[in-house]
Chain A
Amino acid sequence: MSVLSSQVPFSNTVHNTTSLASMVQANAVTKHVPTQEGELLILHPISLSVNAGESLAITGASGSGKSTLLGILAGLDVPSSGEVILHGTNLSQLDEEGRAAVRAQNVGFIFQSFQLLPGLTALENVMLPLELRGDKLAQVKAKEFLNRVGLDARLHHYPQQLSGGEQQRVAIARAFASEPRILFADEPTGNLDSTTGARIIELLFELNRAQGTTLILITHEERLAQLCQRRIEIAAGAIVSRRE
């Protein structure tokens, strides 16, 4: 594994131009944050491209900048410089409203802490993104996906009545139910024991294959990273290694 300067392209994919097959493309994105000692660069210029249907694992130690990069790629955050093109749309040219619209159309999320709403049942949690899109078949689709993750008997359970693995399965059902083109997952197995984690990984990839979704995930877990077609490792805000 070679250490590369972050300015050096890490893959053979085309940079600085938008490929039609490219689902997410980052061109020299950086992130500064203000601190008492002045501006701190937490993400050095990073460029990468992920094609439709590909899966990419982002690994790295805590505080390396993985989550910052994921947030920028998903349009949750804006880079200090550089641009992100998501499904052909340059996010840097959009305001928050515009980015929200892009996310609504294209993006799904799975989080380490599941992020289920405690007041809603499993079914309602899965229905929420569909409802936000105004999908009239929200309930039917939500039931179908809960069925696919094996929770058809738990539709009306609240998150606190479910185990960690079950909660993450609800989160996966929620993410896939809106049929996103690209799915971002932040440590999807981070809060689960290894057996449960393994089942969740299996489910995640199974659905990913079936839906043809592009998958970008952050993980500590070697096994999960191995399953992805590509992998980058980040340290101190820069890409330090890659596997194509």
Chain B
Amino acid sequence: MLAIQLLKRNWRSGELKLLGFSLILAVAVLSGIAIFTDRLESTLISESNSVLGADYIVRSSQPHNVEWEKTATDAGIRQTQSALFSSMVFAGDEMHLASVKAVAEGYPLRGKFEISRVPFAMNSSDIEIAKAIPAPSEAWVDSRLLPLLKINLGDKVAVGEYELTVTQVLIREPDSASPFSMTGARLIMNIDDLPKTHVVQPGSRVDYQWLVASDEVQQLKQFIDQLKPQLNKHQRLVDINSAQERVGRTLQTSKQFLLLSAVIAVLLAGVAIAIAARQFSGRHTDQVALMKSLGASATRIRSLYFSQMFLLGGISSLLGLVLGSFLQQLIAVSLQEAYQIRLGPSSVYPYALSFLSGLMCLVFFALPALWHLPTVPPLKILRRELTVNTTQVWMQAALALFAVLTLVILFSRDLELALSISSALLAVIVATLVIAFGLLVLSKKWVVNLGGFWRLAFANLQRNRGQSLIQILVFAVAIMLLFTLTIVRTSLIEEWKVQVPDDAPNHFLVNIPPDELPHVQALLKESQVRPEPIYPMMRARLTLINNVETTEEQRSTSNALRRELNVTWSDKLAADNKILKGQWWDTWQRNESDLPGVSVEIETATDIGLKLGDKLQFSFGGLEMHAQVASFRSLDWRSMRPNFFFIFEPGSLDGYSPTYITSIYLPAEQKSFINTLLHDHPTILVMELDRIIEQIRSIVNQVSDGVLLVLWLTLIGGCLVLFAAVMGSIAARKQQAGLLRALGSPRQLIVGSICAEFAILGFLAGFIAILGTEILLICLQTFVLETPIQPHYLFWLISPVSGALFVTLLGYLGCRRVVTTPPAIVLREAT
């Protein structure tokens, strides 16, 4: 086939190399990131899901619909169930309101129970992974239940009317639930024993959970999509994002970042492809004219060139895919070594998507430049001065922009990300055209004062104004994308690190009785453990809003109306809290109703539909209390500090008896402090967040490493673009330099003017690039990443200077042969 022969010859002659390499790079980066993200996501989700105990849980006050089980089994989805409730547990004369979890065979679907024969076990040698759930008639209990009930392993405890033998101490469990709703010690029992206890009666408060998990992500997703519409208002679907907002959010931003990098890498490669295609097209105009004079028809030419392009696209995309899978495997292996994390297999989707994207890049970035080739008139072979109608630049830009949008949407399925990138790109294009044009015009005025090569350089830029503008645009886009990626990466990693600082509180102490508080404080002081502020905590239910009962609709949209809330009073506003509307107590005044004030968390307030000044009625264990909304607050749930939806005015809750809550930071070596604390104060509930924090850290580290590699790949893409843009103009520069050399110009003048020209291009591009970077960052940070916006003053200096230096270096490397080769050869090659 002639197209294959021509492709081979064109490749050998070097005309297709830049195009091919750009395409290989684009597909390699895309597939590398897409496959890696796919694997990382499924692995991390499955890991994070071990915190949840499943991939999804349907929570409800009623048992789940048994018909779902068959559908799930048919879809190959694993399932199990559990029931959570509070119940008095008796042992002789002792009793405790325990938090009971009755579990069915197979629980948990993700993660494991860690059990021990030693209460408060810390050493891994004492702890084992449970191979099954408690056998019928057996129970596993929290360490603290033993001193609370004054029992030992092997003793019996009664749950309702049924006696269970305590066979193991429960050290850790998945889905240990919110610390604030669970004050009792945990007891795990077999769900088959539940009817025998007779504790679950009609109307009992039981949290039924139906757990599902599957390694077949697509099937699971399909099943969940089918399930969603069948859920009634009492049934709530919980996944890792809703259950563990911190982990979910980190995953989400890191995924977005990786995708952003991928898109930027593709954009850069796309620009390189477009430039390479332009060069290819320029060189092939004569070839097409010749072929036409030899009798090749336009149809034949079209088919020959399109076949070549699609062959090149297919081969490059395949090579890119191979390189991409190799790259992601490299990251996966290093992750495995560093963090002992084995990534799961990837789905076919990222492979297929990357391959298609390669072809798409070619169609949208390269074909517009080649489109006119079949229309080259054969007469051009005789009359070289004939002009050829090429595809309009704006048309090429529009097609490229369309490709960018499609690619971003395909990869991220995120319209905001796509729009952010596209609008910033448009802004850069407009800014480039306006600024560069203005600067070039201005430079004409003061260039007369410049001597030597500067004048020559400016004259060249002025003469080829169109070409100069395109080069500035290309340089600016490349630099902008690289800076954006670097800045976003840095700020994201910083944000993640700030989010989980080394000394972030990693344990919550909940349910501290008021009379034990002084002793707990003394114990903390003695052990040199510094607590975060200690808050009184009371449980209350919001019953009336402006003397009207809450509606079913309000209850369905707000958790706060469905269950008891943890409330507090405080005179100080916590550091991570911010008043958005209304006033804090230092400036707030009661109005004529003289009701005490309450500050409400903003999202809760929005869900319920509260306004400032609304009168609320709370029920504190049957005691009514009225308050007026004084302010709305935002807070950071990721701060690892106690936070409350409702904070009352100091003194307003004096009549109600609170328990206390705080959070502390315990380094690993001080972990035994918990044993001491729980021995002395068995009613206190300790929530160990250190594992979750460790998990977040590990994710941040993994993702940062992956991101760094991606950044390097993108940098290569950027260099390729710059190189392509420089090389594109080298032939003309060589010819001019050869001529100057032939006329006897000194080496310094030629090299100097070439360097000066590239320096001006690079400087202008760098200046425009930082402008574009700021715009792009504002869009990204506002709409996509939701991180704070800040200017980057240093980059306003770095960008133009580094732009000038780098582009000059590339230009010098490309043109240096001009002055060392005899002018005759340079001129002959250039013609």
Contact = CB atoms under 8 A, between A and B. Distances in A.
Q: How large is the interface on A (under 10, 10 to 19, 20 to 34, 35 or more residues)?
A: 20 to 34
Interface stretch (B80-88, B170-178, B289-297, B780-788): B289-297
B654 interface: no
Given A119-B9, A119-B15, A160-B829, A128 B381 contact: no
A77 B379 contact: yes
Interface string B263-301: 000000000000000000000001100111111111110
A104 B296 contact: yes
Interface in A104-118: 104-105, 107-109, 111, 115, 117-118
B12 interface: yes
B13 A119 contact: yes
Nearest to A117: B287
B298 A109 contact: no
A128 B379 CA distance: 19
Contacts of A186: 382
B790 interface: no
Contact of B295 (A71, A100, A111, A117): A100
Contacts of B572: none
B297 A96 contact: yes
A128 B294 contact: yes
Contacts of A104: 294-296
Contact of B296 (A67, A111, A132, A160): A132
B14 A132 contact: no
B383 A71 contact: yes
Contacts of B14: 119
Nearest to B286: A115
B131 interface: no
Contacts of B299: 97
B10 interface: yes
A71 B828 CA distance: 27
Given A119-B15, A131-B5, A109 B381 contact: yes
B339 to A, nearest CB: 50
Nearest to A134: B2
Given A70-B382, A76-B379, A124 B293 contact: no
B383 A67 contact: yes
A132 B381 contact: no
A129 B291 CA distance: 7
Contact of B381 (A108, A111, A131): A111
A82 to B, nearest CB: 17
Contact of A129 (B15, B295, B383): B295
Contacts of B295: 100-105, 107, 129, 132-133
A118 B13 contact: yes
Contacts of B358: none
Contacts of A213: none
Interface string A60-76: 00000001001100101
Contacts of A214: none
B378 interface: yes
B10 to A, nearest CB: 6
A71 B382 contact: yes
Contacts of A132: 2, 291, 294-296, 300
B651 to A, nearest CB: 88
B608 to A, nearest CB: 73
A126 to B, nearest CB: 11
A59 interface: no
A120 B9 contact: yes
Contacts of B828: 160
Nearest to A108: B294
Given A77-B377, A119-B9, A133-B295, 8 more contacts: A74-B293, A96-B297, A96-B378, A97-B297, A100-B297, A100-B378, A104-B295, A132-B291
12 contacts: A76-B378, A77-B377, A102-B295, A103-B378, A105-B295, A111-B381, A119-B15, A120-B13, A128-B294, A132-B295, A132-B296, A186-B382
Interface of B: 2, 5, 9-10, 12-15, 286-287, 290-300, 377-379, 381-383, 828-829
Interface of A: 67, 70-71, 74, 76-77, 96-97, 100-105, 107-109, 111, 115, 117-120, 124, 128-129, 131-134, 160, 178, 186
The 5 closest A-B pairs by CB, nearest first: A104-B295, A119-B13, A100-B297, A103-B295, A129-B294
